[in-house]
Every structure is written in C-alpha cells, then in structure tokens.
Amino acid sequence: GNSVTQMEGPVTLSEEAFLTINCTYTATGYPSLFWYVQYPGEGLQLLLKATKADDKGSNKGFEATYRKETTSFHLEKGSVQVSDSAVYFCALMDTGRRALTFGSGTRLQVQP
C-alpha cells in the first residue's frame, strides 16, 4: 500500500535559518505529491504540489522537488520566519484514487 514518512519533529530553528523537512514515500503507481501546512487552531492549507517526476513545486519561499529515483519530496526554505511556525504535512495521491495519504506531520518552531 501507499505510505508517507516524514522526519520526526519538532524542528526548532532561529529566524533566517535554512529549513529542510524530509519526506519519502511508497506508492504503487505514479502519485502526485503535496505539502500542506497547518497553523495553530486551523485546518490544512495547501502549500505546494508536484504532479510528475522532476517537477518543482514552490510557494511563499518554500520549494520541493519530486525525486522519483529516491522517492522523496523534501521541503526547503532558504530563510524561515517566526510566522512559518506550524505543522507541515507531506502527502501523496496515487493514480486513480481520490484519497490523500498523509505523513505524520513535522512541527516547526521558529524562534526570533
């Protein structure tokens, strides 16, 4: 079956530090890959997505590249802000199935 594995959190960084949150996946088909963000007390917001190998999704300074050879979709940002503090979820949607499979989430805490 499908699965998504994320690095354990929390990740604590100082403002303007470089961020990497690792995500690897297992899927039977050719999935689309997503990063969602959940701010405290809120639902999930789509951050970025990539639908095929070597695609790069980007939004608000965050980037992730779909790496089929390593089955990975790591999230990066060059300079984090306090306002980026949230829980980040990696997810996949496999071909032909309308359901998202989520990782366990990684909490990011950015300190001023």
Binding site for another protein (CB under 8 A): 4, 29-32, 34, 36, 41-46, 49, 51, 89, 91, 93-105
CB of 18 to another protein, least distance (A): 26
Q: Measuring CA to CA, how many Å separate 101 from each of 6, 24, 82?
A: 12, 12, 28
What is the SS3 assignment for 74? coil
Beta bridge partners of 83: none
- C-beta closer to another protein: residue 49 or 77: 49
Rounded to a whole number of angstroms, the minimum distance from the CB of residue 4 to another protein is 8
Least distance between another protein and beta carbon 108 (Å): 17
Which tokens is 110 given?
Answer: 């950015």
